[in-house]
Amino acid sequence: MALTKVHTRMIDGDAVSVTDFGATGNGTTDDTAAIQAAIDAVNTAGGGTVFFPKGNYKTDSQITLVSNLTILAETGAIIKPSDTVPAYACYGTGLDNISVEGLTIEGTGTAYSSGTQGRFQLDSSTNITIRNCTFKKSRNTGMVFDAVSNLKILGCTMSNNYIYGVEVRNESSDIIISNCVCDGNGSTGVATSAFGRGVVLWKVLNAIVANTVFKSSTEYGLRLYSDAADTAGTENVAISNCTFDSNDSIDFYIYNASDDIKYVSVSNCTFKTKSGAVSIALAGDYVTVTGCTMLSQSAQGATAFTLYNVTNASITGCVLKDYSTAFSYSGTNIPAYVTIANCQVMDVAIFTNGVYGEGHAIKDCYIKHGGTGTTDLCFFLDKAGSTGTKVTNNVIDGFYRVAQLNTSVAAVEFVGNTCKNTTDLTIRMYGTDLRADAGFVLRDNTFDLGTNPTELGKIQIDGHVNSKVLGYDNVVPSQLTYEQGDTFFNIAPTAGGTVGWVCVTAGTPGTWKTFGTISA
């Protein structure tokens, strides 16, 4: 090798090939020193491009990256770190202007326990582009970026890494992950771990994840994470046009232990969720999910949404099909102010397992039962301290009961809904405080008969303190429980007849007296 040849290439602006420094790419010779020499030569010249021709470049030691470096690999160029590499196969810190394109870094695939060895890590660096690369079979994580800024990961594949495909963490900012594939992380194809996650974003600011596939991870596809001890949060994350497919536990998981994840949007994504898994676990503040298509892979076999300590969230314009539970509200990490609107929810066993928290709204949805259970509820409202749920203008089809309200909830509005093919009671209420003291509003609904008393569809409750039933019928009430002062108007008045009836003694149905005589 002639140094003058290398210097001439750099002056002319040509790429420096690792083979010019003695790399063999034969898969058996340790090429670490040759690769490092090429990188160091470019660094000495003030920056440039290191080229990898097609070949298998075995490395037994870590490669140290430098600033102002472009790594350009021919199709079929693979760095294969051996198990003797102590940490990351490629590493750099405090760098600027790093670009890697077309390179594959592949582990041995023989070690199945969690170790320190990963594929690629940059710390405290900026202006990074990783394009059309593959990172696979790491004993740890495919790529780690710690306290970096202006990072782009474009068209890359992260597969069969023992822990994560990619982790971006520790106050990193301005991140773009686009047109990537995260496949089978947590498994090398022989053994399976419990750590498999496609992408993890932890304490990041301003991130875009777009047009990316998350599939077959042994835990989560995509995770936004915060630890209880964190002093910095994750903010301004936009996830769009992604596909989540067959991840073992949760497709997209927001874990908000420090209550500092906020301003997250999920739009136009597709979910194909495994039986027993969850499509989206929502937490954080100001979270939106819009226009997503969500499918359980087996009929009533998965949960679409779990709602934890999420506040000020909206789920709009989504299509859900075949879930066991469409929306599962946590009764421990209680959500607040969640709106579900304009969604089509098809063939679900249960729409909500229990609406816990305050200020929720469910409106303008079409909700169709598809479970095999004969006692499935659409809405179950329960939990001491839960208040202010509004269920309005929905079409609810085929459930055993549409709504069941327990005595511990307050200020519920059930307004303008159309309920059809109900097989038992449309509304089952426990406790008179729901109406008289807790502000229960019931009006303008259309109820099918089912086993409902005919009176149910003819009453209105206005919700103020000590509110009374105002109803209409052509006969005196004979079913349900009423309180003193409840009133029914006669909808078939005749000359000499009565204007209506008023309850003078509370009971089931109570004692009723006529009021108002119509002149003959």
pLDDT digits (tens, 9 = 90+) for 392-406: 999 999 999 898 877
Q: Which helix (H) or strand (E) element contains residue 39?
A: helix 32-44
Which stretch of 10-19, 82-91, 207-216 has the lowest confidence by average pLDDT? 10-19
Q: What's the confidence (pLDDT) of residue 111?
A: 46
Q: What's the confidence (pLDDT) of residue 139?
A: 80
Q: What's the confidence (pLDDT) of residue 437?
A: 55
Q: Where are the domains of the chain?
A: 469-520
Residue written as token pair 């599939």: 215
The whole-angstrom distance between residue 116's C-alpha and the CA centroid of its chain comes to 29
Q: What's the confidence (pLDDT) of residue 234?
A: 95
Model confidence at 431, pLDDT cuts 50, 70, 90, reads: low
- What integer is the mean pLDDT of 36-58? 97
- Other CB atoms within a 10 A radius of the CB of residue 3 amount to 8
Q: What's the confidence (pLDDT) of residue 411?
A: 82
Model confidence at 189, pLDDT cuts 50, 70, 90, reads: low
User: CA of 338: how far to CAs of 270, 313, 341, 362, 363, in Å?
Assistant: 21, 5, 10, 8, 11
Residue written as token pair 């140290």: 64
- Full-prediction pTM beyond 0.85? yes
- Other CB atoms within a 10 A radius of the CB of residue 508 amount to 10
pLDDT at 273 over 80: yes
Which stretch of 181-195, 340-354, 506-520 has the lowest confidence by average pLDDT? 181-195
pLDDT at 167 over 80: yes
pLDDT at 504 over 70: yes
Q: Which helix (H) or strand (E) element contains residue 433?
A: helix 433-436
Q: What's the confidence (pLDDT) of residue 384?
A: 64
Q: What's the confidence (pLDDT) of residue 73?
A: 97
R_g of the chain, CA atoms, integer Å: 31
Residue 86 CB-density burial (10 A; 0-12 exposed, 13-18 middle, 19+ buried): exposed
Q: What's the confidence (pLDDT) of residue 194?
A: 59
Write out the two tokens for 92.
């750099």
Write out the two tokens for 457.
């569809």
CA distance 214 to 200: 12
Residue 286 CB-density burial (10 A; 0-12 exposed, 13-18 middle, 19+ buried): middle
CA distance 92 to 458: 72
pLDDT at 56 over 70: yes
Q: What's the confidence (pLDDT) of residue 482?
A: 87
pLDDT at 268 over 90: yes
Q: pLDDT tens digits for 376-394?
A: 889 887 666 678 889 999 9
Residue written as token pair 């409750």: 461
DSSP string, 305-357: EEEEEEEEEEEES-EEES-SEEEEE-SSS--EEEEEES-EEEEESEEES---S
Q: pLDDT tens digits for 274-333?
A: 999 999 999 999 999 999 999 999 988 999 999 998 999 999 999 999 999 999 988 788
Model confidence at 18, pLDDT cuts 50, 70, 90, reads: very high
